[in-house]
Structure 1
Amino acid sequence: MRQLLPLLLLTLLGCSTTRYFDSGQQKFNAANYRGAVADFDKALAADTTNWRYFLARGMSYYQLDQYDKAQPDLEKALAFGVPDMQLYTYLGGLQNTLGHHQEAKGYYERAVALDSLDSYALNGLAWTYNNLNENALALKYFSKTLAVRPNDVGALNCRAVLYRKTGDYKSALQDYAQALKLAPGSSDTYSNIGFLYLEQDKLASALEYFNEALRLSPGHAYALTNRATCRLRMGTPAAALTDVQAALQFNSQNGYAYMTRGKIYAALAQPRASCRDFHSADSLGLFGIYRTELDSLLHTCRR
């Protein structure tokens, strides 16, 4: 009988550990991530040899935006050397969040290699290519995502932005129209359509869509800033200033908004205020075409 006791003890311990893991999974699926962490803690206190326990707790921490705790758990799961699409997908998401896009790319590529039809892995890889400014590949993988998950409003919006960047306004508008059918209350989609028209200098249409975005979401800083640009081009700088001031109240670290306000002050013949905002935009950082535009504007301040 004594010889059976250790085996019985191990069996009971295993059942208890599994019970905590199963309970944690149920809480995770119900979006009770804190409760899930508590259960996975108990599972790991009894058994640190199961990589899935580390993965599950790491996923829970990730959902809680506690990336400093998610990372070691996900990396411990990875160290077991078991190929797993979900693990690679979460590690890719973590690296993207931390700004390590090349590392994210590697993880997402491994996830897609394991399951080429998993929409979350495909979407993550698309976002990663977008972050790396590899627009053609981003467009390819957003299209692959939508082939699997055609009702993904976020992917539709992202693909539309990429179509716009290539000058394919017709395809962009088709994606936006589909996004609005699926989510008619999406202020982001209305704002994005407004920007598409703004880029084409169709100011009346742009204003209409910015207005609708702001009706749905009065604090939409991006729509406020772009409506300010639209109103400035329409010759109403005072109204434009009101918009961009509101945008900066919602997000005081928006370099694009400071650059926009600087242009408005220039139109209002306030050069000192204009240059002050251009320098604020410079200190916050702008990239791509906005960086080029800001450099040109800063040059006028140095004369």
Structure 2
Amino acid sequence: MTTGSWPVVPQPNPLIANRYRKGRSLGAGGFGEVFYAEDIKFNPPRPVAIKIVHTDLLVDPQVRDGISKEANVLAQFKHPNILRVLDFEVGQAGAFIVTELAEGGSLAQKLKPDPNQPPKPLPRKEVLFILERIALALDEAHSHNIVHRDIKPANILLDINGQPQLADFGFALTVTKSIALQTLTSVYGTPQYVAPEVWNDQAGKSSDIYALGVMLYEMITGYTPFLGNFDELKDKHLNGAIPTLKERYPRLRYPQALDAVIFRALAKKATQRYKKAIDLFQAFKAALEEPDPPVRAAVTQKVRASSAKTPAQPANPLQTQNIGPKQRQPARGTQIKLLLEKINDFEAAKSWAKVIEAGEQILALDKNHKIAIDKLGRAYFNNGLDQYRKKKWLEASKSFKEALNYDDSQAQTYKLLGICLFNLNDPGLTLYNLTRAIEKDPSDSESYYYRGKYLYNAWLKRHVKKELNEAIADFNAALQLAPGNFTLKAEIYFWLGRCYYNRNNAADLNKARNFFDLAISLAPNVATYYSWRGLTGSDVSALVDYSRAIEIEPNNHTFYVQRGNRFSAMGEFDRAIEDYTRVISLYDHSDSYLARGQAYQNSNKHALAINDFNRAIILDARDWRSFFSRGMSNFELGFYKLAINDFNQAGQLESNLPVNYFKVIGLSHLMNKDFKNALFNLEKACQLNPRDGELFYWRGKIQKELKNKDLARQDFDKAISLGYREATKEKRYLGWF
């Protein structure tokens, strides 16, 4: 990601930032225009969306700085329902933001697929699904103190699988502060969704809850609660009564309790709204469980009259397919009784799918049948349990979710659903379900254990210290609740060790080793425990641990890599090469050849090293490290032109390059008598590491070749001041002493 000027290239369909090939327009708004684009850094090119910001917004330096800061924060998000920022560039001449491509269109398009036709309200299940996912995404952002300020269907994008993703996150708050945006249509975001306090420029997290409530209203009815021009909308948001759902959409048949949910979400005072978006979702879900209002008598009579004229068609598997004039359907009570008898037989045979089928048939006859509801909840749970034991996480999670629709009081269901989602890498819902499990049963050690694992993994992605501390607290709670379960206890000790290891200080490193010792004492045949303990020990003890891990799992390449790395750090490259050779036999991957090639390189066996780097490049031509390492060996062999080619290739693949890259490519140009490029790269190296005397020494050598004696002398003086005594000889040779 870069921040600077963005030059305009006068040629047809130019690459943006030498990387993005712009395609068709996907839409435009007050902030900019979005285009389909292809990222040619990847082969084949990766489809992305690129938003080109309106240039008139960029006059204000605060806007440019704000967009850069917001984009940097949002690029770190990896929430499944927040559209991820992949790249951006901001300058006064132009700016763009690159995000993942959501190929399923927007929620706005889903609500109104035909601009010339009335909008289409969404089915209940779809509303429930979208609201839950966006609520989780919004709460995730709010936990990082980021306010969206422009929640609306147009900013809810759908991926190819229909998963909703919250887009344009955070930019609205930045750009609306600019004088350039003080217009009627954009100063407060989108007027139909703006909370009362926002009209007074007091936006906060609760303003997003208000906008989410408006969007919920729109998903249910097809319309926002308030309609009109700008001034009318402002007055209604500030002072107007909220129309009930029925008033906006008379044909609607939703539980009346839903009005109260909407009224609270759209309360005029921010303090009276739901505190979190997920609270709005939970209230909506609970309201849906209320009975629908009865159909009016006149409508009922009309339906009866209509059905009297038309012979009824069988709607139930218990009905016969060919009903003669003398045949009668069993009464509803009889049908239910027969179905219950079948359910009892299916339960005895543990045929949960058949229990579910029969239970659904009963609810089609009597949607409030308590026995059927209870049996359906247990059948879905047991079906999920069967899939869970087979580690079919997706199938199990679907069954557990259905079980919660019938009975949301069971901590075990939330726990097992959370574990499934953890294994499916669904971060938002994992945390929610495990937390619900703990709330319902605070004595279950497994819930704390898995929530601790989730928090640890979240820390790995974001490096938020709070999450690591919360993980430790959960593992400690799990430890207190699992005194007799030695397998679980060993796992908890192991994860506590990992947490303390990653705190990265000497005291916590000792704690980590102690926890790994405890884990091994309870489970001495778990190879991973030895592998992690090896990270905390001396060379000798580490080699013992890695060897023990290999003894337990001789075909796990990871342990050979760890032992090989330790041998390399000790300078025992021949033994490292033996381990890396074993790795290659188990794991034919570019990383394996790269590791062995670097060991050959450190042994001055550059021809063998180049062979391994060639193989690594064949397996993965996008890894800059292989080109860089091959360039280093070519440099050592005196093949400077080949080295320069390799270094240039590495530079095209990676923008965040180490100081040593600029040093060696500069020296390669120096040896090739290309002093201009040599000076350019050494200057870059000196800027990146101004405390390395050797870099200034080499830059001085280049200045000497260019006959810039004063500049050369300054560099040699700097090198000497930094302790690089070799520069003294150069000064003597020039007769400066």
Q: Name the TM tier (shorter chain).
A: 0.7 to 0.9
Partner AA of 2:573 in structure 1: N
Partner AA of 1:86 in structure 2: T
Paired residues for 1:195-234 under 5 Å: 195-220=632-657, 221-234=659-672
Identify the residue that residue 547 of structure 2 maps to in structure 1.
Answer: 109
Q: CA deviation at 1:85?
A: 2.1
Is structure 2 residue 145 aligned with structure 1 residue 145? Answer: no
Change (3 A) 1:237 1:277: farther
Change (3 A) 1:40 1:164: closer
In structure 2, the gaps of 5 or more residues are 1-439, 484-488, 733-737
Q: CA deviation at 1:66?
A: 1.9
Task: Identify, as 1 or 2, the structure richer in helix.
Answer: 1
Paired residues for 1:117-266 under 5 Å: 117-151=555-589, 153-220=590-657, 221-252=659-690, 257-265=695-703
Aligned-partner Cα distance in 1 for 2:705–2:539: 39
Change (3 A) 1:23 1:235: same
- Secondary structure, counterpart of 2:535 in structure 1: helix
Higher relative contact order (CA 8 A, sep 6+): 1
Q: Indicate conservation of the 8 Å contact 1:37/1:61, yes or no.
A: no
Q: Indicate conservation of the 8 Å contact 1:28/1:60, yes or no.
A: yes
Partner AA of 1:19 in structure 2: S
Q: Indicate conservation of the 8 Å contact 1:60/1:70, yes or no.
A: no
Partner AA of 2:729 in structure 1: T
Partner AA of 1:280 in structure 2: L
Aligned-partner Cα distance in 2 for 1:86–1:256: 42
Q: Indicate conservation of the 8 Å contact 2:663/2:681, yes or no.
A: yes
Aligned-partner Cα distance in 2 for 1:60–1:184: 35
Identify the residue that residue 719 of structure 2 maps to in structure 1.
Answer: 277
Q: CA deviation at 1:102?
A: 4.4
Larger mean Cα displacement after TM superposition, 245-254 or 187-196: 245-254
- Secondary structure, counterpart of 1:274 in structure 2: helix
Q: Indicate conservation of the 8 Å contact 1:52/1:77, yes or no.
A: no
**2:479 paired residue among 38, 47, 53:** 47
Aligned-partner Cα distance in 2 for 1:274–1:94: 42
Q: CA deviation at 1:298?
A: 5.4
Change (3 A) 1:118 1:38: same
Aligned-partner Cα distance in 1 for 2:647–2:561: 27
Aligned-partner Cα distance in 1 for 2:529–2:585: 23
Aligned-partner Cα distance in 1 for 2:723–2:619: 36
Identity rate of aligned residues, in percent?
Answer: 16
Change (3 A) 1:44 1:231: same
Identify the residue that residue 498 of structure 2 maps to in structure 1.
Answer: 59
- Secondary structure, counterpart of 1:67 in structure 2: coil
RMSD: 3.3
Identify the residue that residue 323 of structure 2 maps to in structure 1.
Answer: none
1:203-223 CA distances to partner (integer Å, 9 max, x unpaired)?
111111111111222442322
Q: Indicate conservation of the 8 Å contact 1:163/1:172, yes or no.
A: yes
**2:513 paired residue among 74, 96, 114:** 74
Q: CA deviation at 1:128?
A: 0.7
Aligned-partner Cα distance in 1 for 2:580–2:720: 35
- Secondary structure, counterpart of 2:665 in structure 1: helix
- Secondary structure, counterpart of 1:47 in structure 2: helix
Q: CA deviation at 1:281?
A: 6.1
Q: CA deviation at 1:108?
A: 2.3
Task: Identify, as 1 or 2, the structure richer in strand.
Answer: 2
Identify the residue that residue 183 of structure 2 maps to in structure 1.
Answer: none
Aligned-partner Cα distance in 1 for 2:547–2:691: 33
TM-score, normalised relative to structure 2: 0.33
Change (3 A) 1:74 1:140: same
1:163-205 CA distances to partner (integer Å, 9 max, x unpaired)?
2344544432232122122321212111111111111111111
Identify the residue that residue 192 of structure 2 maps to in structure 1.
Answer: none
Q: CA deviation at 1:133?
A: 0.7
Change (3 A) 1:218 1:25: closer
Change (3 A) 1:37 1:118: farther
Identify the residue that residue 291 of structure 1 maps to in structure 2.
Answer: none
- Secondary structure, counterpart of 1:76 in structure 2: helix
**2:530 paired residue among 88, 103, 106:** 88
Identify the residue that residue 292 of structure 1 maps to in structure 2.
Answer: none
- Secondary structure, counterpart of 1:133 in structure 2: coil
Partner AA of 1:22 in structure 2: Y
Q: CA deviation at 1:15?
A: 5.9
Partner AA of 1:156 in structure 2: Y
Identify the residue that residue 199 of structure 2 maps to in structure 1.
Answer: none
Q: CA deviation at 1:86?
A: 1.4
Partner AA of 1:118 in structure 2: N
Aligned-partner Cα distance in 2 for 1:51–1:263: 59
Q: How many residues align?
A: 272
In structure 1, the gaps of 5 or more residues are 1-11, 283-294
Larger mean Cα displacement after TM superposition, 36-45 or 137-146: 36-45
Higher gyration radius (CA): 2
Change (3 A) 1:178 1:114: same
TM-score, normalised relative to structure 1: 0.74
Identify the residue that residue 259 of structure 2 maps to in structure 1.
Answer: none
Aligned-partner Cα distance in 2 for 1:172–1:67: 33
